[in-house]
Amino acid sequence: MSPAQIKKMLTQGIVDAQAVSEQEALEAATEAGLAAFVVDCDRARNRSAVLRAVVKAIDYPEYFGGNLDALYDGLCDTLTDQKEGLFLWFRHLHSGDPALSEDAQAIQAVCDDVVEFGQNNERRFAYAIQHAGAHPDPEPGVDPTPYSGREESET
C-alpha cells in the first residue's frame, strides 16, 4: 500500500491492519505529525488487561479508572495534549477469545468516539486493530510466561 493511501486512512480514523504493516502505519503516522503508540495486547485475556496495555503504552497516570469511560476520557485527554493528534496500533488483540470478543467491539466503539471527539476539537485520532484469534490453550505441566515477559531465571 502506498504512503498516500495510508495517510488517507489516518485522516479517516481507522487504518486497516490487514492491508498495512505495523511499521508502515507507525511511520506514516509519525510523518503526519501524530504521536504514535503500540498497544501490545498479545497477553491480554480480558478487558482489564487490554486497558492496562493501553495505560502502559501511553503512560497514563496511575489513577486511570480501568473502564471504558476512563479509556475514552484518557484518550481524549491524551489527544488534546498532542500538537496534531494521536495514532494507536493495537497489536494482537485476541478478539477470538470468548472473554474478549464483545470487549474488542466495545474498545473499537470507544476509539470511533475518540475519532469524532478529535474532529470536533481540531485534532486527529486514528487507530488500527490487529485482530488475533483465540489464545492457545495452556499446555499441561508448562507454566505460562509471566505477564512481565521475563523468565523466572532472569529475576
pLDDT tens digit sequence for 131-152: 886 766 666 776 656 555 545 4
pLDDT tens digit sequence for 52-75: 999 899 877 666 777 999 999 999
Is the pLDDT at 96 greater than 70, yes or no? yes
Cell (9 digits) for 124: 486527529
Q: Could you tell me the pTM of the whole model? A: 0.83
Letter string b/e over residues 63-85, b meaning 16 or more CB atoms within 10 A of that residue's CB: ebeeebebbbebbbebbeebeeb
Mean pLDDT for the stretch of residues 93-98? 83
pLDDT tens digit sequence for 26-40: 999 999 999 999 999
- Torsion angles phi and psi, residue 153, rounded to 5: -70, -15
